Structure 1
Amino acid sequence: MVGNATATSPDQNPAARWSCVGRPESGRDFVNCPPGTKLENYLDFPTCWDGRNLDSANHRDHMAYAAGQTCPASHPVVVPRLELLITWPVNGGGLTLAGTRNGTNVTDQPGYTFHGDFFNAWNDAELKRRVADCIVAGYICGTDGRPVQQ
């Protein structure tokens, strides 16, 4: 789990970022992208594991964020970086994510409440191969899990 669905300020959810594709500005709350562009959201998952627990009561405590390039002593196992990136086209006069369903507003929460979950459904052998061939070997790989020809 990453993000904070109950955040009451941007500082309570540093994992979420919003920006317009091709523009340098970003923030933890929704940004207003011009028509014809794309709104994007990033969620950065923790990269350090405690090495013991596959889950925890709050689904968070078994994982931690690195400080720079170093994992804390309580979470010494480095795991591959996982980032969820979602991009929405901006049409018409702008984009709102506070849409309606059957005429009723379904959300009016700010962008800093964005959150997500990761469930590993990889075939174990294929995941191990991709980690070895791409991450451990230091290559950028394509969607087929093979190093991109440089």
Structure 2
Amino acid sequence: MAFVASLALVVAGFNAITDAGRADAAPRTAAQPAAVTHAMQGHAMAAKAVPFGDDPDGDGYIPANPPVTGVEPSTDLPAHRYFHEFQANCSVSHTAPDDPIVFPGQAGKSHNHTFMGNDTTNAASTTASLGAGGTACKAPGDLSAYWMPTLYNGDQEVRPVGPQTIYYKAGVTDYTSVRPFPKGLRFVVGSPMQTAEQFRDHPGMVEGWECQNQYHNVEFPAYCPTDRDVQLNIRMQAPSCWDGLHLDTPDHQAHMAYPQAQGANQNVCPASHPVALPMIEFKMAWPVNGDMSKVRLASGTGHSFHYDFFNAWDDATLDALVDHCIIGGLQCDARGYDQTNPDRGAALDGNYELP
């Protein structure tokens, strides 16, 4: 997958995706469906910061404490490993019209979201409140909050069933340079205001919407086979390069960037965002098939899909998984165990906790 240097939302209502100075953004059309208009009102990101919680001055910037400085993007080529990843398996805990990143402290102001992981997530969530909460993830140490627009079939809410797969991978070639997320880091991947073309060409796009043998759909397929196990799926990757300075910025994206291609098959963080973090990949599945004509997102059509991440991992647990699985070049499950390399052991015990 080709990566671009950075991704930033602009207030005008579209994504500006920059690649070597080239702007690929396209203006939105004047006419908007009601659901999309509501989504725009729910994500006017740069203009909505208010004093609350982790951002007491309300300027939208949350500084890292301490900041990570003096880092140079790594161009090293470690020993090749096909995998360098672990899973977080997290179930849906609840839905609500809240967004603690875009509208902190403003309950009910967002379109409806489906929340996974931390079971206390709401509009009033802060780093401290998430740290004191519980979790619907297999690993008790993963108190992070993950959310996305709620999916509907007509007026019926459809929730993913069971633990969903959230991969933590190396997005850069030098997987040994990846370090854990700083506590309180948060960001938004994609935008409900993006055009179909921007969704299709998004640097984090993996396969688009799919069901059974239908792949790379920008919108929901018109029909999915009614076989018992057929579900609607999507995979989407997050930026994994951090500026080292901010846990959040007014547009909730500018402090993060995607790795950029450098040389043959090498992905390196840009100098503006030199700190390599795990690359999150959502792999979501909804139990819906058959006639898909009434399937929609709370944010609008299929191409309005986006998701949010708010890091509240227990530091020691995340450190152990990153070190053992990503830096160690393994393909780990939620215990940090690679079944093809049993001699390497696991990062966590049978209860998904530090031994």
Give TM-score, length-normalised by structure 2. Answer: 0.37
Residue 233 of structure 2: which of 40, 46, 53 is its match?
A: 40
**Percent of residue pairs bearing the same amino acid type:** 38
1:43, 1:84 within 8 Å by CA — same for their partners in 2? yes
The Cα offsets for residues 71-97 of structure 1, whole Å up to 9 and x where unpaired, read as 222111111110112112234444743
1:12 matches 2:198? yes
Residue 127 of structure 1: which of 311, 318, 325 is its match?
A: 318
SS of the residue corresponding to residue 235 of structure 2 reads: strand
1:4, 1:12 within 8 Å by CA — same for their partners in 2? no
Query: Larger Rg: 1 or 2?
Result: 2
CA distance, structure 2, for counterparts of residue 39 and residue 96 of structure 1: 13
After superposition, residues 106-125 of structure 1 pair within 5 angstroms as: 107=298, 109-125=300-316
Residue 242 of structure 2: which of 28, 44, 49 is its match?
A: 49
Code of the residue aligned with 1:64 in structure 2: it is A
Unpaired stretches in structure 2, ≥5 consecutive residues: 1-187, 262-266, 342-355
SS of the residue corresponding to residue 82 of structure 1 reads: strand
1:130, 1:146 within 8 Å by CA — same for their partners in 2? no
Runs ≥4 residues deviating over 4 A: none
CA distance, structure 1, for counterparts of residue 252 and residue 299 of structure 2: 25
Which residue pairs with 1:146 in the alignment? 337
Which residue pairs with 1:80 in the alignment? 278
SS of the residue corresponding to residue 325 of structure 2 reads: helix
Q: CA deviation at 1:108?
A: 7.7
Larger strand percent: 2
1:60 matches 2:253? yes
The Cα offsets for residues 45-89 of structure 1, whole Å up to 9 and x where unpaired, read as 101111221111111000011123122221111111101121122
Question: Relative to structure 1, is the Cα distance of residues 94 and 45 closer, same or farther in structure 2, using a 3 angstrom cutoff?
Answer: same
Unpaired stretches in structure 1, ≥5 consecutive residues: 100-106
Question: Relative to structure 1, is the Cα distance of residues 55 and 133 closer, same or farther in structure 2, using a 3 angstrom cutoff?
Answer: same
SS of the residue corresponding to residue 320 of structure 2 reads: helix
2:220, 2:292 within 8 Å by CA — same for their partners in 1? no
SS of the residue corresponding to residue 278 of structure 2 reads: coil
